[in-house]
Amino acid sequence: MRLAIVGATGAVGRELLNVLEDRNFPVDELTLYASSRSAGKTVSFRGETLTVKETPSAAIDADIVLASAGGSISKKLARTWSSKGALVIDNSSAWRYDPDVPLVIPEINPQDAKNHNGIIANPNCTTAILAVALWPLHRAFKASAVIVSTYQATSGAGAEGMNELLHETENYLNGKKPGGSVFQYPIPFNVIPHIDSFQDNGYTREEMKVVWETRKIFGAAEMKISCTAVRIPTLRAHSEAATVIFEKPASAAAARDVLASSPGVKVVDDPANNLYPMPLSASGKWDVEVGRIRKNIAFENALDFFVSGDQLLKGAALNTVQIAELFI
């Protein structure tokens, strides 16, 4: 197995290396690529020291390429990287909406991965965390409408976002006025209801990603979905509050039973003992946590739930490696 990682020194790239080690992914030859400013750096993997090379503009001689180099680079080069037979699993937004490129979450639609033409897209982190919890409920009770609000960690903006939170929080605690450049406003002790660019319909692109991608992954083009995406001052793990209206009768108890036996999900739902999903407990975990499952009192045959999942793992690196595992 000849494996390559493009974007190996970024936040997701580092997590890709960790996940490959933790899951004992079979790697006989590993090549690491990154931008010109990171080329020459060394990275440790399974006791070996590897030197990072500059991202190529030619075909990559590998079986599988795990790409996390940004949308513009992947859009320009992914076809070239795969031109000699490599399978590119891309973590950017470049290919998610291309009808000829499968968008895959292995717990949901692994069969779609087989219908690739050299590229498979990894979904947006917000979509992945919601979808792993929503899919088994949709399969059991058929969701007709979904309303979701997100609470997204600074890791969603990469290493720069996390560093800005830490640095500007330190400034605030030392009596200095916090600033920043990654986010639209200072992030310490603040929430910002603005992620990605605003669209003509008043939603941000981040919010529309949840709509577009969930429909594609589920094969449910008519599913009604509305999302409000909010950045919060945490380091990692996104959380989401969802209200789902179903076509079939759905009780909270039945939903817990369905989720308890679903892959990629851990039910954390004991309010009497203050047990519910949180970024603090979901960080570093492969499964997403789901709890606060209850009947919605505003809509007929609807449930509310809260989900937390590690944005850098199930929202990015873990899902990418799980797709690669389909081809071992």
Q: Which residues are catalytic?
A: 125, 238
- Give 274's contacts (C-beta < 8 A, 6+ positions apart): none
Closest to 162 measured CA to CA, from 234, 103, 237, 96: 234
Closest to 31 measured CA to CA, from 9, 57, 10, 62: 62
Distances (CA, A) of 118 to 80, 108, 111, 281: 10, 21, 15, 37
- What is the rounded CA–CA span in Å between residue 281 and residue 168? 24
Contact 69, 9 (CB under 8 A): no
Q: How many residues does the chain have?
A: 328
Closest to 156 measured CA to CA, from 67, 103, 233: 233
Closest to 217 measured CA to CA, from 120, 301, 289, 150: 120
Residue 267, amino acid: V
Contact 52, 40 (CB under 8 A): yes
Residue 90, amino acid: D
